[in-house]
Amino acid sequence: MADKEAGGGDAGPRETAPTSAYSSPARSLGDTGITPLSPSHILNDADPVSEQQTFLVVVAIDFGTTSSGYAYSFTKEPECIHVMRRWEGGDPGVSNQKTPTTILLTPERKFHSFGYAARDFYHDLDPNEAKQWLYLEKFKMKLHTTGDLTMDTDLTAANGKKVKALEIFTYALQYFKEQALKELSDQAGSDFENSDVRWVITVPAIWKQPAKQFMREAAYQAGLASPENSEQLIIALEPEAASIYCRKLRLHQMIELSSKAVVNGYSASDTVGAGFAQAKEHVRRNRQSRTFLVENVIGEIWSELEEGDKYVVVDSGGGTVDLTVHQIRLPEGHLKELYKATGGPYGSLGVDYEFEKLLCKIFGEDFIEQFKIKRPAAWVDLMIAFESRKRAAAPDRTNPLNITLPFSFIDYYKKFRGHSVEHALRKSNVDFVKWSSQGMLRMSPDAMNALFKPTIDSIIEHLRDLFQKPEVSTVKFLFLVGGFAEAPLLQQAVQAAFGDKCRIIIPQDVGLTILKGAVLFGLDPAVIKVRRSPLTYGVGVLNRYVEGKHPPEKLLVKDGTRWCTDVFDKFISADQSVALGELVKRSYTPAKPSQLVIIINIYSSENDDVSFITDPGVKKCGTLRLDLTGTSGAAVPARREIQTLMQFGDTEIKATAVDIATSKSVKVGIDFLNY
């Protein structure tokens, strides 16, 4: 192996690297860079978590694609989880434990309202006035679908106007902060300060790092926490939160879909119907109570699990489906993530999208596009009407579902096309959608079920792929959670495909599972012990140039020493297991001993085998700048040691560089948005 030490080297004949069109990032920076000191691998155990701050209350925000909510628990009585107050202006047929993720800005782009209030106000505006207001819904998906997310990414409001995503997320989080603090103050009879609260925000596990960081930035701007006090905010992964909650469940708090056993005296064929009827009744009776008691026990299902047992959490929400495989580690029942989170944009939004495609097929794409722009509030109404019917879809349903068309839809269509909606339906060859004289679209159950099919097929397909993986083949349970898990069609499909492989379990108020789990996670963040790293991380270094091994275009000659530039020195590989708080240390030395400013660039990649920072897919995500000026020359050894530490395993990653001689240090959070 080539000597990695960076001495000055004796001044031999000056060589120059072959000139080529290829340019090296290291060379263009003009900095001499760092080179590894051997031995370069030092791995130490997770250090004890730094002194814990004490918070009076944990508030979790489930910022969903279609609906959002918050829940909280006082640290003195962690077994009581309170779900937020009922919202004004709920929907018929939908329980109001959460509010729609919709936001309304005034024509001057100031925050006006959120949730049902935003929807109702927007709906009551005069159509011409409505065009001036900025109404946004289902905007969270933008963070998942934008490949090059930055602080400047835009969102488009219903009227076609653009607005900064960061602004919208900040407004939404500010709204939740105010609501929660007001409710806590009312309950306590005295003002609750933000500093009393530990905040937890949930994000899909399959989100890439930039999106997770974006949420944290928005939370800082909303005043939930600050970079100096980053521990006040935890970004939790949705399936992990669900997993934590499912551990506490007792049998009467879930509905089991598998054909294996009789649950609560119902045989499997009754269970889906009867279990749900029972559950709905239970939820109806307890609708007034917003406090859930989480018994401080490990639930019955859990008590059947043994060391090393595995289970899958399928979190299906509005925007995404997220699959995470966990393994139990006894005695404390800590969780280990076995397989890095997978999933995709297969949420219940897919069903809305299919409905929109169906409308385009019947009424023409040109009309639907125009209608959305010209009558944005009526379009929102139509989608609300569809939402409540969507919830009535079931495998055994025989009678048709009626969807009310807004009057302005019928009216505008006649003006646009010159003939009636009824005429369009007759002409469209879509035989399973009829027109009823009461001004409604009548959809046969088959037609409705067909709208679910593409999304459900994607979820099943994804699960099938997952079950092929050797580490997943011996899964004992499958927990189906998230808002879309309420859909009987999805439940039936999962049961049919996997019921013979494992037990399929659905918590009763499945839409709140993540919210409640996030509160539990905030009370005890150390419960998740091992995660999988989603990316490969490393730093850019210089190594001694080895003829025949290194590409000629990477040769850099400095003071007679031949270096290979742009080498990727790996800290951790994608999909490697990382313990919570695990530190990886490396030691480097400046390539030029007299160097006073040392710049260490941190890079990431989705690939595992990375040799150079110029390889395809490698992105810069952090810079550590260590300024050593002002340290007295006498004390500085000839070979400086710069130690770089990266701390992994949490949802965010931190890096530190220390100059061993002077103990000067600099810290940086890995940044995926500003590079």
Q: What is the pLDDT of residues 555-596, one digit of tens each?
A: 888 778 888 888 998 888 877 777 767 788 888 888 777 777
Instruction: State how far the Cα of 664 lies from the Cα of 660, in Å rounded to an integer.
Output: 7
By the 8 A CB rule, do 209 and 621 touch? Answer: yes
Instruction: State how far the Cα of 314 lies from the Cα of 246, in Å rounded to an integer.
Output: 12
Backbone CA torsion sign across 217, 221, 224, 229: positive
Residue 198 has pLDDT above 90, yes or no: yes
Residue 28 has pLDDT above 80, yes or no: no
DSSP 347: S
Burial of residue 135 (number of CB atoms within 10 Å: 0-12, 13-18, 19+): buried
By the 8 A CB rule, do 90 and 108 touch? Answer: no
Q: How far is CA 99 from CA 68, 69, 166, 203, in A?
A: 5, 6, 21, 17
pLDDT band at 255 (very low <50, low <70, confident <90, very high): low
Closest by CA position to 316, among listed 513, 569, 449? 513
Residue 106 has pLDDT above 90, yes or no: yes
Domains of the chain by start residue, with CATH: 57-237 (3.30.420.40), 349-450 (no CATH), 535-669 (2.60.34.10)
Greater confidence, 588 or 205?
588
Which 3-state string (H, E, C) describes 53-104?
Answer: CCCCEEEEEECCCCEEEEEEEECCCCCEEEECCCCCCCCCCCCCCCEECEEE
The pLDDT score that the predictor gives to residue 8 is 36
Instruction: State how far the Cα of 498 lies from the Cα of 475, in Å rounded to an integer.
Output: 11
By the 8 A CB rule, do 591 and 33 touch? Answer: yes
Residue 175 has pLDDT above 70, yes or no: yes
Q: Specify which residues 435 forms β-bridges with.
A: 441
By the 8 A CB rule, do 542 and 26 touch? Answer: yes
Over residues 173-178, the mean pLDDT reads 94
Strands (E), 414-527: 433-436, 440-443, 477-481, 503-507
Strands (E), 301-432: 310-316, 321-329, 334-344, 401-404
By the 8 A CB rule, do 670 and 536 touch? Answer: no
**431-458, pLDDT tens digit by residue?**
778 887 777 888 888 888 899 999 999 8
**214-254, pLDDT tens digit by residue?**
899 999 999 999 888 888 998 888 888 888 887 776 555 66
The pLDDT score that the predictor gives to residue 221 is 95
Q: State both tokens at 270.
A: 């009754």
Greater confidence, 522 or 285?
522
Q: Is 25 helix (H, G, I), strand (E, B) or coil?
A: helix
Q: State both tokens at 602.
A: 């941190």
Instruction: State how far the Cα of 478 lies from the Cα of 269, in Å rounded to an integer.
Output: 19
Greater confidence, 196 or 266?
196
Compute how many other C-beta atoms are within 10 angstroms of the C-beta atom of residue 407. Answer: 11
Over residues 414-443, the mean pLDDT reads 83
Q: Is 182 helix (H, G, I), strand (E, B) or coil?
A: helix
Residue with tokens 């009987």: 488
**62-104, pLDDT tens digit by residue?**
888 888 889 999 888 887 888 876 555 555 444 556 788 899 9
Q: How far is CA 24 from CA 192, 541, 556, 603, in A?
A: 54, 12, 10, 15
**285-344, pLDDT tens digit by residue?**
444 445 555 444 445 555 666 777 888 888 888 787 888 887 776 555 566 666 666 767
Greater confidence, 266 or 527?
527
